[in-house]
Structure formats: C-alpha cells, structure tokens
Chain A
C-alpha cells in the first residue's frame, strides 16, 4: 500500500515494537503529528507531549534505563533539535539506546538558512552513535530499521534520524525490511577464547581480587553471570554509579559504589587489590581519581564490548572484547573446566577480613542534629518505606550521591541517573519515562531544588497524562554540590550557588493540579513520605533539609583514591 513518509515512519515504529514516544510538535514534523492523531491508536503507539524537547530525550532515556528497550523521541527542526542536544549527549555518555527523530526543512531548502533550519546531523555528530539524513523517501524505512539496529546493539547509544519535511509528505509503497546488514558494523559479542582462558586463570589465582561492574552489565543483562562469577570465586564486588543494581547491594559480597563518593572500604579494596576484574566499566576519572596512583599493585582484566574503551584510561593486562553477558558465560564455563582440571581457587579469607575491617573503621555516616532534616535520613527512609524496590531516578548533585550511597539497589534497572554527562534536570523527566514504561512499579524522582527548577514545567506533563511519578525534592536552597566544592576547595566562597530565592513548591505543584506535601522537621519525614507515596497520581514531596550538609567520603578531583576526605 502506498502511503506518505509520515505514515511510513509510524508503521516502521510499530514494526520495531515501539509503544511509547516522547515528543513535541512543530512546523517540520506536522505531517508526522497529523498521522499520529489519525493512526496512533490503531498502531498501539502512545505519544506523550512534554513541555520542552529536552524532556522528551530524558523521558526516552529514562524509559531505556528502566527497561533496556530502545527509547524514542520526536522533535521538530531547528530549535526542537537543538533543545534535544543535551538529552542526546546524555544518552551518548551513558550508552543508552535511543532513536531520535528530528524534523528538517524540506530538502530543496537545506543550506538556505531557512526558517527553523539547523544542521542537526552536523551538530549531533559527536554525541550520537550514528546519525542519518534521509534524502530519498525510498530510504526512509531501511534507515529506520538500521537506526534501531545500531542504537540497540554493540555498545548501545543514541541514533538520530533527520527527516526533511518533504520526506514525510512524499508517497511510496511501504515495506519494512525483515533484517538489515551493515557490513561496516559488526559488534564483537563473543570474547576470544584464549583471552577468556588467561583472564579466568588469573581470577582463580588472585588472592586479593575485586570485581568491578559498570553500566555495560545492565546493557547486556549480565546479572546472573556477574552474580555467579562473584559467588563461585568469592569475589568482593563493587558497582560504578552506572552499574548500581547489577549486583545486589545487600549481597554479602557487595562493596557498594566506588570512586569519588564511594565507600572508604570500597576504595581501599580497589586500591589494594592484586586483580581488578572490570566488566562493562570504563575507568572513568570519577572512578579512578589520580590515574597513576590507581590500584598500582593490581593486574587489570577488562571486559568491554567497545574495544576503544580497553586501554583508553588504564593499562590492561587481560583485555577481552565482547558482550558482558556472553563473556560472563564463557568465563563461567572456562572456570568449570579449569577447576575440573585440578586448579584451586586461592583462599581470600584474609582479604575479606581486611575489607570488613576497613568498613568497620569508616562506614558511611551522618549526624543527627535535632529537628533539622538530614538528607541522608530522607533517603534511608525512602528505602525503608519502599522496601528498596522503587524505581529511583536521581537528578545530579549531592542528593544523587546520597541516593547512590544509601538507597541500596538490589534490583536491576531500578536506578536511573545521568552519570557520564551529569546533566541537571534529568531526574524528573527520566522518572516520567520510567513510569510510562513500568506503570505497575513505584517511580520516585529524587531531585534537588536546582535541577528540578530546570524542568519543573514537566509538572504539566505528569498532570496531563496522570503519570504517577513521586517527586522527592531535597531542598537545601543551594546548588549543593557546587556549594560543597566551594566550601572545601574555594575557602567557603559561595559564588552564585545560593538559590534560596525560589517558589513555594507546594503552591506551585498545586497550581498545576499536582498533589504536594512538605516536611520541615525530622519528626515529619517518615509520615509525610508515607502519606505522599501512598497518594495516587503524580505527587510532589518537598523536604526542607539542612542547608550545608556535605557528601562524604569525597576524593578531591585529581587526587588518589587513598587520599579521600572522610569528614
């Protein structure tokens, strides 16, 4: 059947199993929106109208983080696309599978500085996994097929498809390719057996190993493999900020998060290990601190599907290029074989004792100070009330670190945040995406007053679709993390980090028709939180917390892990 490009786009999305789109209309995508209003219901696609294009990308990213499926965003040309760029860059840094459709001026106007024209493939070249400009309507369906393939395989990432308006208007026979072959793109899934053998042999012999799990374990769904490797080899296991939840926080072998705001015992374990086994992590500077001092006595095993990540930041002794789940399975099998051949796993009793001693020496701590609400307490209460089972989407800053440290994620894909890019404003719209994807799960956006004010317009979105996101606003009237650095590293000069001039958030939510609660005292935290979380529909909960609380421990930027500041 002949149909216009706009309809082909929607039919293609149906073929890809897309159920939800986050978007914002405009001139260049009017044909698409016209087809949406006519056919979306038949195609089983629901479009969510956000209130700023950036939120469509964050929503789609939250959707991807909470499900592992490819998120889809649709925005118009020019400003629609440029507003989306932060969201695209975020998905690129955190390797989230997204397909982003942007409108473009008609092909005959491209390059003419037409109204709402921007070179979106040019602008996004360095922050997409790949991008496409559709110049012939015949290419539309195959391009969409390829875009979904590229976004969701290998190391996932955002793919942008730029659609000139005439491409959505022209008619052509629709047929969707069953398969796609991209000869220049062949992700290596299986690890080289020899490399796996060498790595496993090192794992068996190591006396002070640490297993270090990153976001790649989520991307590959390598949960069972990671757990079995940890248990069979008795490996202390740490997760990066992006890896939290890939290994249960309450597991006896769990070390929690490492890095800048990681536990003392975790960083000490990493720094003193003899073998660091990295699966799907990338030795980010927030993890390693001063690179020349990082785990100096250790050999490194690095499993990554992206070969360019191996050896990029640290030397690697045992590189294995491959998918975390597949390589994990290969490792488990290799382990069985080597044990069957008589190899003996080295004893780690002393190592576990040492780590336990470190943990006892300096656990996470915070001090109660009368009725002043401590943000850490709010997170602990959130964990208690939700039994650690909520989908938690953090914004960026101090509250993000407290949540990462204290919520204790036992379940995969329940932790959403902007790790690599550190984009303020992520938490709330990402929670919207998660709540759309997982309507039966409680979704909580833990946000600060800075980040929330970048995206509070999305209150209209959650009201419009009655999306039951619970916004837990940790309000200290500061850009807290900036203030903390100014306190610790700039002699208390609080330059432009005080944001105590702000709206009455309860009234603000009320004006959007969103239920709102507020607690100002420690004694109010529990019941306010319980009441709010049990209120149906979207809810805002404002916690007026201690203004100058700091996140500890902290490894100062550029310092070695061992030089972390504990209090």
Chain B
C-alpha cells in the first residue's frame, strides 16, 4: 500500500543522504521525495511517498525515527490529511480549436497558464496525485512536450476542522474525473 511519510529533520550537512541512504541500505522504496524549509530556521520538512506492507512501513517509520537528527516521523496515511503536488507542463496549443480545448481543461482543473507562446502553453496545476494524473491523461492526446512534477507534500487536518470537515475540492474533482474515465 502507498504511504505518505512526513519527516521533520534538522537541516544539517548531509541530512538528505542520511535519509535516502537509510532507504537504499535497507531496501525500501522512495517513490517521491520533497524537501523544503519550515518556519523554524534550520528545520526542514521531508515528505516521502513509499509503498510496502505493514511490516515494511513500520520498519521505515522506526528506522527513520532512529536517525539522530530526525525530530519527528509521521505516517500521514494513518490519519485524515490533505495532499498536494504541483505539475508544470508544456502543451501544444495551436491556434483555433486546440487552444480552446486546452483553456477549457485549464478552467475545469483550476490550473493556470503561466507562459503563452504562439503554438504552446506552459500550464501550472496543483492537486492530489489523482487529479494531477487525470489532468495529464486528458492533455496527452493534445500533446505534452515537457513535464515536471514535484511529488506530494502533505498536511494533517487539524482535529477541530476534521469534525466539520470541509469538502475537499479535489475530492469533488476525483468523482468527476472517475466518471469521465468510465
């Protein structure tokens, strides 16, 4: 099963290799990896998506926690959370119908056009992995010439928000796209 694991780490010399090295030394997979600073200087957040059975995931959590400069390890998958990743794509957008089709997809997916050329756009879109995948699938027939994805970042829903849980726009969306795929 796919898990999203969030590590709060001291941003010290070689920290990324300590975590990545642990994964490779013990034969765990890193599917995606994201590192960026937090509000506190010297502390970074790493978001890793990985997969494995419960035993493997348990070991990943424990072994990561054992690293001396890892402050906190959270398996986001275990509790309600929000996940987002960003994708940027260069897509064909020739004058006429094709250009209109791309723009309408941009609107439906709440994406953005960040660069305009006579026969192409650069698009930017954020969402969970499903939404990003759906967006890519729909653009493929039109022609994607370049793509960059960040991999997910994740945040736990705060408890009191959870109670009156606001409907996630992405959930609305995955219903829509799932229907379309069928």
B interface majority secondary structure: helix
Pick from B17, B22, B68: contact of A184, CB under 8 Å:
B68
Interface size of A in residues (CB-CB distance below 8 Å): 18
8 A Cβ contacts from B1-42 to A = 9-10, 13-14, 17-18, 21-22, 25
8 A Cβ contacts from B121-140 to A = none
CB distance from B172 to the nearest CB of A (A): 39
Quick check: B59 and A184 within 8 Å, CB to CB? no
Assembly CA distance A126 to B21 (angstroms): 7
**Which residues on A sit within 8 Å (CB–CB) of B70?**
184
Quick check: A130 and B68 within 8 Å, CB to CB? yes
Indicate whether A507 reaches chain B with its CB closer than 8 angstroms: no
Pick from B10, B13, B66: contact of A308, CB under 8 Å:
B66
8 A Cβ contacts from A98-149 to B = 121-122, 125-126, 129-130, 133, 135
8 A Cβ contacts from B49-76 to A = 55, 58-59, 62-63, 65-66, 68-71
Assembly CA distance A52 to B71 (angstroms): 38
Quick check: B14 and A121 within 8 Å, CB to CB? yes
**Which residues on A sit within 8 Å (CB–CB) of B13?**
121, 133, 135
Pick from A125, A185, A306, A307: contact of B21, CB under 8 Å:
A125
**Which residues on A sit within 8 Å (CB–CB) of B68?**
129-130, 150, 182, 184-185
Pick from B14, B22, B55, B69: contact of A311, CB under 8 Å:
B55
Quick check: A184 and B55 within 8 Å, CB to CB? no
> Which residue of B is nearest A131, CB measured?
B14
Assembly CA distance A126 to B20 (angstroms): 11
Assembly CA distance A384 to B55 (angstroms): 48
Which residue, of A129, A185, A308, has the highest number of chain B Cβ atoms within 10 A? A308
**Which residues on B sit within 8 Å (CB–CB) of A126?**
21-22, 25
CB distance from B95 to the nearest CB of A (A): 51
> Which residue of B is nearest A126, CB measured?
B25
> Which residue of B is nearest A146, CB measured?
B68
**Which residues on B sit within 8 Å (CB–CB) of A308?**
59, 62-63, 65-66
Q: How large is the interface on B (under 10, 10 to 19, 20 to 34, 35 or more residues)?
A: 20 to 34
Indicate whether A312 reaches chain B with its CB closer than 8 angstroms: yes
Query: Given that A126-B21, A307-B65, A308-B62 are contacting pairs, would A184 and B14 also be in contact in the complex, using a CB cutoff of 8 Å?
Result: no
Quick check: B66 and A125 within 8 Å, CB to CB? no
Pick from A121, A183, A306: contact of B71, CB under 8 Å:
A183
Assembly CA distance A85 to B14 (angstroms): 19
Query: Given that A311-B58, A312-B59 are contacting pairs, would A306 and B66 also be in contact in the complex, using a CB cutoff of 8 Å?
Result: yes
CB distance from A227 to the nearest CB of B (A): 30
Assembly CA distance A312 to B71 (angstroms): 22
**Which residues on B sit within 8 Å (CB–CB) of A306?**
66
**Which residues on A sit within 8 Å (CB–CB) of B69?**
130, 184-185
Quick check: A184 and B21 within 8 Å, CB to CB? no
> Which residue of B is nearest A307, CB measured?
B62
Quick check: A122 and B66 within 8 Å, CB to CB? no
> Which residue of A is nearest B64, CB measured?
A308
CB distance from B57 to the nearest CB of A (A): 12
8 A Cβ contacts from A172-195 to B = 182-185
Contact with B along A284-309 (1 / 0, CB 8 A): 00000000000000000000001110
Query: Given that A185-B68, A308-B62 are contacting pairs, would A125 and B17 also be in contact in the complex, using a CB cutoff of 8 Å?
Result: yes
Quick check: A122 and B17 within 8 Å, CB to CB? yes
Assembly CA distance A467 to B176 (angstroms): 80
**Which residues on B sit within 8 Å (CB–CB) of A122?**
14, 17
CB distance from A401 to the nearest CB of B (A): 29
Pick from A125, A129, A184, A307: contact of B10, CB under 8 Å:
A184
**Which residues on A sit within 8 Å (CB–CB) of B25?**
126
Quick check: A184 and B63 within 8 Å, CB to CB? no
* Partner-A contacts on B (CB < 8 A): 9-10, 13-14, 17-18, 21-22, 25, 55, 58-59, 62-63, 65-66, 68-71
* Partner-B contacts on A (CB < 8 A): 121-122, 125-126, 129-130, 133, 135, 150, 182-185, 306-308, 311-312
24 A–B contact pairs at CB < 8 A?
Answer: A121-B13, A121-B14, A122-B14, A122-B17, A125-B14, A125-B17, A125-B21, A126-B21, A130-B69, A182-B68, A183-B71, A184-B9, A184-B70, A184-B71, A185-B68, A185-B69, A307-B62, A308-B62, A308-B63, A308-B65, A308-B66, A311-B55, A311-B59, A312-B59
